[in-house]
A and B are shown apart, each in its own frame.
Chain A
């Protein structure tokens, strides 16, 4: 099976612009989560989607949003970009056939966003 794919791999934007990142989960995986990784803050949870519904949300401002499509593919959007949004954005998917929550997440390679 193909792994989690993220596009684009690299992005350069300027302050005030908006950006959309895309994630394709492993085939059959129903949950998709997004994380922001920075050297100073580590791995910060953004949100999680399951069956097109946002199931969990982290502590990020409303400029950060996401959605999941019926084929489980997900997008996240950041509007009015700030310099501090420069980071590696990681997408992760998990199978979750059962309901107990023990499935591990599989991560994509990330999208490196640089805001100038």
Chain B
């Protein structure tokens, strides 16, 4: 079975501190991994993705994520958090190989960045 887990419902961090939002996955074969952010009353916005190659991927707004195959993880990170980063973050996975594989989304992690 394919799935995505975001073990933390909420992450609290002070502005200027580094942040990490965790994601682990289970998929048959090689994964395609994605991070999205959702601001209140908005749709999801794409942040970054891992397809192949370098395990560290950089995305929008200074975010980056590291693919760790042995730990089946794809944690989202940012060196210095901003109050404006406060939002709901979703991790998603899709098995590679063909477009017939579904996207699986995690339950979301609410990030609170305090001034």
Contact = CB atoms under 8 A, between A and B. Distances in A.
B105 A42 contact: yes
A105 B43 contact: no
Contact of B107 (A33, A42, A107, A108): A42
Contacts, number: 66
A90 interface: yes
A97 B20 CA distance: 33
Interface string A40-53: 00110100101000
A55 interface: yes
B61 to A, nearest CB: 15
A12 to B, nearest CB: 16
A42 B36 contact: no
A42 B108 contact: yes
Interface in B44-64: 44-46, 49, 51
Interface residues of B, number: 27
Contacts of B106: 42
Interface in B72-104: 90, 94-104
B25 interface: no
A100 B100 contact: no
Given A42-B107, A43-B105, A55-B100, A101 B94 contact: yes
Contact of B102 (A56, A96, A108, A110): A56
Contact of A101 (B43, B97, B108): B97
Nearest to B104: A45
Contact of B51 (A4, A35, A102): A102
B43 A33 contact: no
Given A92-B44, A102-B96, A109-B42, 15 more contacts: A33-B103, A42-B105, A45-B102, A45-B105, A48-B102, A55-B100, A56-B102, A100-B96, A101-B94, A101-B95, A101-B97, A101-B99, A101-B100, A104-B49, A109-B43
Interface of B: 32, 34, 36, 41-46, 49, 51, 90, 94-108
22 contacts: A33-B103, A35-B105, A42-B105, A42-B107, A43-B90, A43-B105, A45-B103, A45-B105, A48-B102, A55-B99, A58-B102, A100-B97, A100-B99, A101-B32, A101-B94, A102-B32, A102-B49, A102-B94, A104-B34, A104-B46, A109-B41, A109-B42
